[in-house]
C-alpha cells in the first residue's frame, strides 16, 4: 500500500558570504537546538529545521539498509548524521552514513532526505571528502550519484551495493504501513 507524499514544511535558510569563523559561531549558537542542521560550503551557510516526516524517512531508510546488510552478510558501520568537516571549506551532516566492510574517516555511502531544493549543490560538499556514493530521497524517489574523477555521475544501480534493488526499496519507502514495508523488503531481498 502506498500513500501520496505531501511536501512537509521543513524550513531552510541560506546566507552567503560567511567566513568559517562566523559559521563556527553560528554552529555553536545552535548546539543545543534539536532538529536544526547546519551546513557550510565555501562561504554559504544553510540552516535547516527538519520536519517529523524528514526524520521518519531517514530512519526508515536506515532500517531497510540494516535489513539488507544483515540478510546479505555485509559488515557495515552506521554513522548516522555525524558531522563531516574540512576546516574553512565544508561542513555537513548526512541523514545516514555508512562505512561498508571497513571503518575509516570517509564513509562509503551518505544519504540525504531532501524536502527542500539544492540536491545537486549538496554534492559539492560530499566531493570535498571524496564520499564514493551519495543518495538523495526526494519527491518519493531515490536518486544515486557515484563520484568520478570529474564529479558525481547520476547512476541507476548502486556501485557499492550492486545487488540492492533500488526500485524495491523505493516502493517500500512509500508504503503507509512501516511494518508492511519492512516485511515486503525482507521478502524481496531474501
C-alpha cell at 89: 571549506
Is residue 7 over pLDDT 60? Answer: no
Q: What is the pLDDT of residues 112-130, one digit of tens each?
A: 998 766 667 789 999 999 9
pLDDT band at 53 (very low <50, low <70, confident <90, very high): confident
Q: What is the pLDDT of residues 79-108, one digit of tens each?
A: 987 788 889 998 888 999 999 998 888 999
Indicate yes or no: pTM above 0.85.
yes
Averaged over 156-174, what is the pLDDT? 97
Give 108's contacts (C-beta < 8 A, 6+ positions apart). Answer: 98, 99, 100, 101, 131, 132, 133, 160
Domain boundaries, the chain: 52-189
Which CATH number among 1.10.760.10, 3.40.50.720, 3.90.1570.20, 1.10.10.10 corresponds to the domain 52-189? 3.90.1570.20
Q: Which pLDDT score, from 0 to 100, does residue 119 have?
A: 66
pLDDT band at 4 (very low <50, low <70, confident <90, very high): very low
Contacts for 140-144 with beta carbons within 8 Å, 24 or more apart? Answer: 140/5, 140/170, 140/173, 140/174, 141/170, 142/166, 142/169, 142/170, 142/173, 143/119
Q: Which pLDDT score, from 0 to 100, does residue 10 have?
A: 56
Amino acid at each position: 500500500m502506498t500513500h501520496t507524499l505531501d511536501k512537509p514544511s521543513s524550513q531552510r535558510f541560506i546566507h552567503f558570504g560567511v567566513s568559517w569563523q562566523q559559521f563556527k559561531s553560528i554552529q555553536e549558537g545552535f548546539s543545543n537546538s534539536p532538529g536544526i542542521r547546519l551546513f557550510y560550503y565555501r562561504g554559504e551557510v544553510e540552516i535547516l529545521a527538519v520536519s517529523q516526516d524528514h526524520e521518519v524517512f531517514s530512519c526508515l531508510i536506515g532500517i531497510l539498509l540494516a535489513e539488507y546488510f544483515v540478510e546479505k552478510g555485509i559488515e557495515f558501520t552506521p554513522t548516522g548524521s555525524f558531522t563531516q568537516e574540512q576546516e574553512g571549506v565544508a561542513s555537513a551532516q548526512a541523514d545516514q552514513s555508512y562505512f561498508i566492510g571497513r571503518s575509516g574517516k570517509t564513509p562509503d555511502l551518505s544519504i540525504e532526505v531532501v524536502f527542500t531544493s539544492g540536491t545537486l549543490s549538496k554534492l559539492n560538499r560530499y566531493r570535498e571528502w571524496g564520499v564514493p556514493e551519495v543518495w538523495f530521497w526526494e519527491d518519493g524517489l531515490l536518486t544515486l550519484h557515484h563520484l568520478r574523477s570529474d564529479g558525481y555521475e547520476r547512476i541507476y544501480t548502486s556501485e557499492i551495493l550492486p545487488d540492492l534493488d533500488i526500485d524495491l526499496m523505493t516502493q517500500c519507502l512509500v508504503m503507509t504501513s512501516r511494518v508492511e514495508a519492512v516485511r515486503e523488503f525482507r521478502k524481496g531481498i531474501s
